[in-house]
Chains A and B, each alone.
Chain A
Amino acid sequence: MNVVLLVLQAGLRDLSRNRWIVAYTLSFLGIAEGLFWFGGTGPQVLLSLLNLVLLVLPLVALVFGTIHVYASREFVELLLAQPVPRRELFAGLYLGLALPLAGAFLVGAGIPFVVHARDGATIGGVVALLGAGVGLSLAFAAIATWIALFTDDRLKGVGLALGTWLVAAVVYDGLVLGAAAAFGNYPVERPLLGLMLANPVDVARVLVLTQLDVSALMGYTGALFERTFGTALGTGIAAVALVTWCVIPLGLAGRRFLRRDF
């Protein structure tokens, strides 16, 4: 366990020296605060931030994460030469990346909502947005780690990260929209819900929707949505799915890390 802390500490020190993470925190702080500043009410700021969270968080986590893991390569190799359990080394490596990312978002986006607590954003909405952001950071940090361990070619790794982002954030929804239109005459709600759960960006979005837009979701004619989103069930399902999206890539990356030959 000491090793986890040690590597985590090293990672944190490394990252805090890194101006990127500071700029990242400040930019969220600036944007969220700015949205309030320019006359936004709580719900509006939440919705504006949602778009940012869905696009920017995965991008930063993927690109920054892959680069970070590549950059830690020599440090990792050095430690591997020591009598150190690989499992703990990996945990430290991942946490050293994921925690600052999630923390930076939490601080940057969270503080303005605490400051402007009276501006009408519901607690459920804020918690859902912050939770979705943290979940996305953790999930995409895990995916980034996996990509970086998957290939030694840095260019290829970053390219893969960018491609993953494009698919997860934009292309996937386009395909879903196409499918919904093409199979509109069939009962598509259930498969569609399943498709939503198969993409972490959509999971995060649905999680926030269940808090912010339940009035619209309940307007849908199908009873399935009513049962799913009318209660805490929808929020629960989305939250569990997001956690799953952190665990699975992390497991894959961990397995790769334990087995590969450095």
Chain B
Amino acid sequence: MRHALVTALALFAAQPALADDLTVGAGGRFATISAALEAARPGDRVLVRAGTYREPTLVIRTPRLTLEGQGWPVLDGQGVREVLVIAADDVTVRGIVATSTGISNLEDRAGIRAREVRNCLIENNRLRDNLWGIYLQRSADCVVRNNDLEARGLRQTESGNGIHLWYSPGARVENNRVRGHRDGIYFEFSSHGLTRGNVSERSQRYGLHFMFSDSCAYLENTFRDNNSGVAVMYSRGVVIARNRFERSWGSAAYGLLLKDISGGEITDNTFERNSTGIFVEGSSRLAVRGNTFSQNGWAAKVLADADENIFSGNQFSGNAFDVTTNSRSSNTTFDGNWWDEYAGYDLDRDGVGDTAFHPVRLFALVVEQHPAALLLLRSPLVSILDAAERVLPVLTPEALVDRRPLMRPPR
């Protein structure tokens, strides 16, 4: 035991010889972070003590450097400049508060920017009132985790994205909280990324927005109160599982908007209280399985140009409208879902209803043509009309049908 302790102490004592700790702030060797960054050698740690630092944009050019705040030092952009730029590989930034980049229409100022580097780690930071929060620019295999971002921009045009990835493949974005940015999390041309456990809320546009980013996975995130919900566009092989999509309200707000997505999996998510739960346009070969749609205006809007998609094992309850589409024909298959409006029977007791369920209501078509009629939602008259249409379908798409509706909710 004693022996081990001595060894440990010896190792600890030996540490500075390999990598120095450079302390900035009250009682430290350096007064400014810039000076410490200038003096640092690869592998060093720059420890920043509590205080407010107003310095020109800080640029880390030393590889394997760690910049660590102790007691939440504030790095202030004073409303006129970018705060921190990572311009070397294998850099770690943690424990700092980056704030006040100010608004610019000419440059994309970020709280923390990784510029054309590899393997950076940005964790446990706070970002406040920045135009852009954390910006990965052509940076591969970076990890962004446990950060807390908040912006108070009033208009879309005056704010940037929270966590922004541009040509940054292999990123892991985990357990961050983003509030009030334009897009909470944004991926563009950034493939093979993993986004897990984040909470993105009150975004002025999308909670999560990604374009041209193939083979990405989005797991266990919560998207809430975002102005337009979540948009996933022009990507292949996307996995979206166990997320929560809540309270996207508005005529152009979608819990999850899918546009030109092919070959994705959307499983075990919860869509609750969105104007439109899931919106599918021009997408093909999607497996939508085991999701819960509850209390949405329109649980699923599936346009006729969506192809070979399969909805199965989902649960639809308390939605104003379960499914709508824009055509009499449909290339989307609904099979083995549970619908709270299904009123069929199960004589052979195999758990599957013996009569088919038509999820598109007549009233949904009426509202499609005369939107203001929406005010008659849940009127007894509308129930009567719907019931009549179910018995003798004349107007609703006959092809859009669940032939094996479940008698009990799955799971």
- Could you list which residues of chain A lie within 8 angstroms of chain B, going by C-beta atoms? 39, 41, 43-44, 47, 50-51, 54-55, 169-170, 173-174, 176-177, 180-181, 184, 188-189, 192-193, 196, 202, 205-206, 208-209, 212-222, 225-226, 230
Contact = CB atoms under 8 A, between A and B. Distances in A.
Contacts of B247: 215
B375 A184 contact: no
B340 interface: yes
Nearest to A206: B375
B372 A209 contact: no
Contacts of B274: 215
Contacts of B366: 177, 181
B147 to A, nearest CB: 30
Given A176-B376, A193-B375, A221-B251, 12 more contacts: A44-B340, A173-B376, A173-B380, A177-B366, A177-B376, A205-B379, A213-B297, A213-B378, A215-B249, A216-B296, A220-B251, A225-B374
B377 A173 contact: no
A192 B375 CA distance: 8
B244 interface: no
A174 B374 contact: no
A189 B297 CA distance: 18
Contacts of B250: 218-219, 226
A218 B380 contact: no
Interface string B312-349: 00000110110000000000000000001000000000
Nearest to A176: B376
A223 to B, nearest CB: 9
B298 interface: yes
Interface in B254-294: 273-276, 294
A44 B320 CA distance: 11
Interface residues of B, number: 37
Q: Which of B317, B318, B371 has the most chain A CB atoms closer than 10 A to its own CB?
A: B318
B129 to A, nearest CB: 27
B407 to A, nearest CB: 10
A192 to B, nearest CB: 5
B380 A51 contact: yes
B378 A50 contact: yes
A43 B294 contact: yes
Given A215-B274, A219-B250, A188 B372 contact: yes
Contact of A51 (B317, B371, B372, B383): B383
Interface string B342-376: 00000000000000000000000010011111111
A189 B380 CA distance: 21
8 contacts: A41-B317, A173-B379, A176-B375, A215-B249, A219-B276, A220-B372, A221-B371, A222-B372
Q: Which of B253, B369, B379 has the most chain A CB atoms closer than 10 A to its own CB?
A: B379
Interface of B: 247, 249-251, 253, 273-276, 294-298, 317-318, 320-321, 340, 366, 369-384, 408
A193 B374 CA distance: 11
Contacts of B408: 39
Nearest to B373: A180
Contact of B249 (A43, A184, A214, A222): A214
B296 to A, nearest CB: 6
B275 A216 contact: yes
Contacts of A212: 295, 318, 378
A218 B370 contact: no
A44 B297 contact: no
Contacts of A180: 370, 372-373, 375-376
A21 B195 CA distance: 59
Given A192-B375, A206-B375, A170 B320 contact: no
Nearest to A223: B251
Contacts of A215: 247, 249, 273-275, 295-297, 320
A220 B368 CA distance: 10
Given A184-B372, A219-B276, A208 B378 contact: yes
B318 A43 contact: yes
Nearest to A189: B372
B324 to A, nearest CB: 11
A47 B378 contact: yes
Contacts of B294: 43
B378 A209 contact: yes
B373 A216 contact: no
List the 6 shortest-distance A-B pairs measured between CB atoms, nearest first: A216-B297, A219-B275, A216-B320, A43-B318, A173-B381, A218-B249
Given A177-B373, A184-B369, A214-B249, A219 B298 contact: yes
A180 B384 CA distance: 18
Given A219-B251, A220-B371, A177 B381 contact: yes
Nearest to A217: B374
A216 B296 CA distance: 7
B318 A44 contact: yes
Contacts of A193: 375
Contacts of B383: 51
